[in-house]
Structure 1
Amino acid sequence: MPRDDVAAVELLSEPGDEPPTGEAAAEPGPQDAVLRYEYRGAQVVEARGDYDMHSLGPLTDALNAAAATHPKVILDASGVTFADSSFLNLMILAHRTGKLRVAAPSTQVRRLCAITGVEDVLEIRDTLSDAAAT
């Protein structure tokens, strides 16, 4: 993803999480954070890692916040390594706002969309640039 057009980056984690301390401290992992930033007039929510009903909270919050403040929301799904029906449902609900575009979906996300037939419903683009341009 081109970072030269990035105006702001916000790291979102589970509410009430305390930052790790001591030697066990590490950078947030794939399921610990959702990245959100501005790109070419759109709000991008970058999802990384595995998503099921137990880990969807931060992504849901980020998409809702983005949709509340921006006319165009892009879900960068290139880093999604697992997604179940709760992730699919979230994409469909976000799509109903008329603002969502899905950019660069991983193989797992593409397969989920193809199996369920939502690839014809969601606005799926191959790249972040393509999603921002439409």
Structure 2
Amino acid sequence: MRAYSEAIRAWLNRCHAGATRSHEENDHATHVHTEPEQGPVRVIRCEGELDMESVPALERAGQHAALQGGVERLVLDVTGLTFADSRGLNCLIQLHQIVPVILSGPLPSQLLRLLQVTGADAIFPRADNMDAARTM
């Protein structure tokens, strides 16, 4: 149990250290792009860091896409994410409450670990690639 507690504490410290970085201090610009699509699937590509500075862009894109008529699910292409914090995870969960969200990967190791540690990996269906995600 002690090793488990130490591992969680170390992970939280790493997350906190990453969450305090500003976008000016790194080379990873954040981009959120919604692909125009017909039919029940909307695809949003996320690149860079998903943190408190960039989450509003994903919230806007996701809510706009989800509230369009006939949209049954969002596919988030997260292969380009380099970092995600608790605010990013919260955004994903909130979008999933509006419309089902499928994560298209392969998922970056840091995002996968965040999902596993928080138990959120049970919430989101995942696909290994975009073609598989679009047909789920």
Q: Under a length normalisation based on structure 1, what TM-score does the superposition of the two structures give? A: 0.71
**What secondary structure does 1:54 align onto?**
coil
Q: Is the deviation greater in 95-104 or in 77-86?
A: 95-104
Provide structure 1 residue ranges, at least 5 long, that are not aligned to the other structure. 1-28
Q: Does 1:127 align with 2:125?
A: no
Cα gap change, 1:39 to 1:114, in 2 (>3 Å): farther
Larger Rg: 2
Query: Which position in structure 2 is the counterpart of 1:68?
Result: 67
Tell me, in whole angstroms, the C-alpha distance in 1 between the residues paired with 2:74 and 2:99.
9
8 Å contact from structure 1 (residues 31, 55) kept in 2: no
Query: Which position in structure 2 is the counterpart of 1:90?
Result: 91
Tell me, in whole angstroms, the C-alpha distance in 1 between the residues paired with 2:120 and 2:100.
16
Q: Which runs of 4+ in 1 moved over 6 A?
A: none
8 Å contact from structure 1 (residues 48, 77) kept in 2: yes
Query: Which position in structure 1 is the counterpart of 2:118?
Result: 116
Give 1:110 shift: 1.0
Query: Which position in structure 2 is the counterpart of 1:33?
Result: 31
Tell me, in whole angstroms, the C-alpha distance in 1 between the residues paired with 2:57 and 2:76.
13
8 Å contact from structure 2 (residues 76, 102) kept in 1: yes
Cα gap change, 1:81 to 1:32, in 2 (>3 Å): closer
8 Å contact from structure 1 (residues 102, 123) kept in 2: yes
Determine what percentage of the aligned residue pairs are the same residue.
28
User: Over residues 31-89 of structure 1, what are the superposed CA-to-partner deviations in whole Å (9 max), with x where a residue is unaligned?
Assistant: 35311114573111000001211221111111111111122211111111010000100
Residue correspondences, number: 106
Provide structure 2 residue ranges, at least 5 long, that are not aligned to the other structure. 1-26
Give 1:106 shift: 1.6
Q: CA RMSD in A?
A: 1.8
8 Å contact from structure 1 (residues 67, 97) kept in 2: yes
8 Å contact from structure 1 (residues 40, 132) kept in 2: no
**What secondary structure does 1:96 align onto?**
helix
Q: Under a length normalisation based on structure 2, what TM-score does the superposition of the two structures give? A: 0.70
Tell me, in whole angstroms, the C-alpha distance in 2 between the residues paired with 1:103 and 1:113.
14
